[in-house]
Amino acid sequence: MPDTPDTPETPDFSPLSLPLIPLEDALVLPGMALSVDLASPEANAAVDEIGDDRKVVLVPRVDGRFARIGVIAVLEGEPAMLPGGSRGVTLRALHRAELGRAEAAGGALRIEVTERPDPEADEAAQELAREYRGVVEEILEARGNRGVIAMLRQVDEPGALADTAGFSPDLSYERKLELLETIDVAERLTKVTAWLRDVLAEIAVRERIREDVNEGMEKSQREFLLRRQLDAIRKELGELEGEEGDELARYRTKLDESKLSDEARKEATRELDRLEAGAQGPESSTIRTYLDTLLELPWGEYSEESGDVKGARAILDADHAGLDDVKERIVEYLAVRKFRKERDIEDGKSGVILALVGPPGVGKTSLGESIAHALGREFVRVSLGGVRDEAEIRGHRRTYVGAMPGRFVRALRDAGTMNPVILLDEVDKLGADFRGDPAAALLEVLDPAQNSTFRDHYLDVEVDLSQVLFIATANMADQIPYALYDRLEVLELDGYTDDEKVAIATGYLVPRQHTKNGLLDDEATISEDAIRKVLREHTREAGVRTLERTLGTLLRKAATRLAAGEATAPIAIGIEQVDEDLGRAKFHDEIAERTGVAGVATGLAVTSVGGDVLFVEASSHPGTGGPTLTGQLGDVMRESATIALSHVRSNAAHYGIDSRQFEDRQFHLHVPAGAVPKDGPSAGVTMSTAVVSLLTGRHIRPNVAMTGEVTLRGRVLPVGGIKQKVLAAHRAGITDVIIPKRNEGDLEDVPAEVLAELTIHPVATLEEALAVSLEPSVHWEELAVS
């Protein structure tokens, strides 16, 4: 605390010994009255020690120590009981006192004090008092406290007038304590006048701000008023102008350095001017977010594309086995790009949109990443499965809270270039609801003639997507909307043969599972026979996803044996170890067993997981009415069953069937796996063959599977998915496959090694199919004659 020496005019008083009442975080100046709760023992004992003069010393205690100057106060009235059960007294402060030596007296603390009342004021003190009074009255006038002004004018003594500053809410506790410890009246007046001049200046600034803001404003515009007040405060204080100026300068610098299109630059400049004009609150935040998004896009930035055609093919071959059609198409694309670049041919419509359609696990997604690697471009994956909001494609308009650009603009930002490879994963699983149809929004994006001027709703400027290589993936092509499918260059990935799966497992899957399971390459090996056993008994899929998981299980168990000390490296995993680690087989060759009775035929179908084998069972029983069809069949498949029964019945004699077998009998056709929906016309031949087998009693050869649509005249029409169906037959151990004659050309897509192990029977009529599929019977000719 400042040490203020006494002035010579202060009279000398003899020391007094008075009881002391400490004030915790409180302060009293001469002229003030206060009520004291005597809850503390110190205060209670001090009041009991008060003498006949009824005087006591009040001293503030700050941070555990007493102030240098206290106040002598006089007790008014007698102690009274307070509601809480403690006593309370009323004290009135008289004048200051210097504190001396203290001593304990009973439970109270007595202290020697020297009284320091204010001396008679001189002319200088009177002049300071008038100046102080004027400042205080201006403050009170500005706040409308006229009643306090009248009370203040009743105080004549300069010292007492200075002590009225203790009532001011504008002075801190520290300043009031400094006022208490200032004994000299002139110095006291000088301090409080300076302090209150600062208060008056703050009031004047606030008043000036209020006046500036209110000019030309309507009272109803509260939000605008608050913004203008904030502007005026910032301008008056000068604290934030530097930061805002630096931010605007950074935006200007980024804008100058960026390679924005003319339209984007114009829009960015307009938004930056709005921000500079004083946009505040939510509007300011929206503008900043928009500018950040716009300037983060890689305008004019392109990856240097590799022109090495052979090198690109080598990269694709190293990353994926098989898939020659896709690899050839990528190499063709790269070759065309190379010539167009060398010969400076550019029409703005050179974009390519590929669609990889195939069952799960054949490597569609990983192939997209490999393509980006081969081309030397950045890769971004955009998952579209389950997307139902059109704004996910085009972005949200900036009027909405939390608006953001669409997925393609965000993909360009993440890639850092304007020509990445963007993989549109699961495009066949797009949804649609009241928020729009994302598939319809994709029509512009995936059209090379339009996507050079793609306009995102959030950015509201044109973005060139023509240099992007889009690769879509899907499991079922027929689930892609036709308008969207028409814009895609479809490449079908129909699955792998067993030999290809063995090669993939040996070259890719096993090494990857070694790493995942913490094994070195020479610590555990899986033989080719073991891999084939896994393929035959534990997986039956078009891809290799389940195969990889199963191989991972074998290596994980090998790692466990090594860690437990039950085996030593190297561990050779053979056929016997597969049985021990994986247990019983999950798939069995049940075709011979299921077709061991008449009326059961083996068909071929295409599902979302690739080609598959299905069975058609036919039976009859006494009754009347139409056929019973079960197995969760779709409308087209139900019609195929009706056609099969009608054709066989109308040509019963031709097929050696006694027409009396149709009298008073009801037929039932069932396709097992009733929980799986089935549809399509390709089971017509299978259903017809099952009915003929039932009625003639001739079994169907167990090694034969068939596909094809049948007409009422017995013609066999072409169907789709021949490659996938043939591969499924090969996986199931079928040796003879019946296909429509007009599908012979599709066999070119089937791997040669698969065709070498199968006998393909192209047929044009149902009669030809029956000749291949039915077992010979001694009764056939007899039935035909009769």
| 3-class secondary-structure state, position 783 | helix
Which two three-digit tokens encode residue 235? 């301008």
Active-site residue list: 682, 725
Q: For residue 238, with 0-12 CB atoms within 10 Å meaning exposed, 13-18 middle and 19 or more buried, which class applies?
A: exposed
Q: How far apart are CA 176 and CA 516, in angstroms?
A: 73
Strand 716-717 to 709-710 pairing: antiparallel
How many helices (H) and strands (E) in the chain?
29, 25
Q: Which residues contact 12 (CB under 8 A, 6 or more apart)?
A: none
| 3-class secondary-structure state, position 81 | strand
Ramachandran bin of 157, using left for φ above 0, alpha for ψ from -120 to 50, beta for the remaining angles: beta
718 preceded by a cis bond (ω within 30 of 0):
no
Give the number of residues written for the chain: 786
Which two three-digit tokens encode residue 553? 């299980």
Q: How far apart are CA 579 and CA 737, in angstroms?
A: 31
Which two three-digit tokens encode residue 70? 């206290």
Q: How far apart are CA 691 and CA 696, in angstroms?
A: 9
| Residues 94 and 72: beta-carbon distance below 8 Å | yes
H or E segment and range at residue 307: none
Q: For residue 364, with 0-12 CB atoms within 10 Å meaning exposed, 13-18 middle and 19 or more buried, which class applies?
A: buried
Q: How far apart are CA 443 and CA 452, in angstroms?
A: 13
The 3-state DSSP composition of the chain as helix, strand, coil percent (nearest 5) reads 45, 20, 35
CB atoms inside a 10 Å sphere around CB 510: 22
Helix pair angle (545-563, 575-582), 10° resolution: 90
| Residues 137 and 152: beta-carbon distance below 8 Å | yes
Which two three-digit tokens encode residue 168? 């001011």
| 3-class secondary-structure state, position 112 | strand
| Residues 504 and 544: beta-carbon distance below 8 Å | yes
Which two three-digit tokens encode residue 101? 């030596």
| Residues 610 and 724: beta-carbon distance below 8 Å | yes
Strands (E), 441-593: 454-455, 462-463, 469-474, 489-492, 524-526, 571-573
| Residues 60 and 101: beta-carbon distance below 8 Å | no
| Residues 383 and 500: beta-carbon distance below 8 Å | no
H or E segment and range at residue 677: none
Q: How far apart are CA 725 and CA 740, in angstroms?
A: 12
Q: Which residues contact 536 (CB under 8 A, 6 or more apart)?
A: 587
